[in-house]
């Protein structure tokens, strides 16, 4: 089953019905979302879907460390030329993956949330991480070399209405992208909570 991207009428049924361990995965390539049979999408793999991996601790100028699981498909992000950062943002991206972390004050965070909610490229849902629910937006994001990434933006409240916005997206097998996202996000939330 395929769904080509047309922003106004793109059907979200493939994303909404995607389940872990159902023997199927979604693949985002050439602006087309395709459901495939996936032997790796099972819960009886002793090494897990991602296999063994190491963590790379990334110290950002924002003062928030990111613990990054280094796997075959995302390891090129760690190369210095793929990074930009400032006092309120950190960004790593290449042809197949994008990670971005931004910090917004209360007023800016409210504008960001309104913009995300109004986008025809994203659908709102709630993502459970580390025992809590977070506002999340899933769908198509920022262009890379003329192509769109498929991924998730998650709002993480900090203090007095301020928020971090965490983005992880990519191209290729979306189940892999989501697994990588979840590993990063779980550790990121713990880091933010510890202050």
User: Which runs of E-coded beta strand occur in the chain?
Assistant: 2-4, 24-29, 32-37, 54-59, 65-70, 83-85, 89-93, 97-104, 122-129, 132-144, 147-157, 163-170, 172-173
What pLDDT is recorded for position 39? 81
CB proximity list for 74: less than 8 A, separation 6 or greater: 68, 96, 97, 170, 180
pTM > 0.75? yes
Question: What CATH number should be reported for the domain whose range is 54-194?
Answer: 2.60.120
φ, ψ for residue 76, nearest 5 deg: -65, -20
Q: Kindly state the average pLDDT of the residues 152-167.
A: 94
**Rounded distance between C-alpha atoms, residue 154 and residue 139, angstroms:** 12
pLDDT(112) > 90:
yes
Per the structure block, which two tokens stand in for 66?
């990111």
- Rounded to the nearest 5 percent, the helix, strand and coil shares of the chain are 25, 45, 35
What pLDDT is recorded for position 8? 43
Q: Kindly state the average pLDDT of the residues 42-66.
A: 78
CB proximity list for 95: less than 8 A, separation 6 or greater: 144, 145, 171
Q: Please, which residues bridge with residue 3 across strands?
A: 33
- Cβ distance 35 to 22 under 8 Å? no
- Cβ distance 126 to 135 under 8 Å? yes
At residue 149, the 3 state secondary structure works out as strand
Q: How confident is the model at residue 105 (pLDDT cuts 50, 70, 90)?
A: very high
Q: Kindly state the average pLDDT of the residues 166-177.
A: 92
Q: How confident is the model at residue 168 (pLDDT cuts 50, 70, 90)?
A: very high
With CA atoms as reference, report the closest residue to 58 among 50, 69, 67: 67
- Cβ distance 166 to 185 under 8 Å? yes
Burial environment of residue 31 by CB neighbours within 10 A (0 to 12, 13 to 18, 19 or more):
middle
Domain range summary for the chain, segments of one domain joined by +: 54-194
Q: Kindly state the average pLDDT of the residues 113-127.
A: 89
């Amino acid at each position: 089953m395929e769904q080509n991207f047309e922003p106004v009428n793109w059907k979200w049924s493939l994303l909404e019905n995607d389940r872990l361990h159902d023997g199927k995965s979604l693949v985002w390539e050439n602006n087309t979302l395709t459901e495939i049979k996936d032997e790796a999408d099972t819960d009886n793999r002793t090494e897990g879907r991602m296999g063994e991996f190491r963590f790379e601790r990334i110290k950002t100028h924002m003062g928030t460390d990111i613990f990054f699981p280094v796997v075959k498909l995302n390891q090129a992000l760690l190369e210095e030329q793929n990074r930009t950062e400032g006092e309120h943002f950190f960004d790593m991206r290449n042809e197949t993956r994008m990670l971005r972390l931004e910090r917004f004050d209360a007023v800016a965070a409210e504008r960001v949330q309104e913009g995300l909610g109004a986008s025809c490229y994203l659908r709102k849902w709630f993502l459970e991480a580390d025992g809590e629910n977070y506002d999340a937006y899933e769908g198509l994001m920022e262009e890379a070399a003329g192509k769109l990434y498929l991924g998730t933006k998650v709002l993480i409240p900090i203090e007095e209405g301020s928020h971090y916005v965490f983005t992880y997206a990519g191209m290729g097998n979306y189940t892999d992208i989501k697994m990588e996202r979840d590993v990063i996000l779980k550790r990121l939330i713990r880091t933010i909570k510890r202050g």
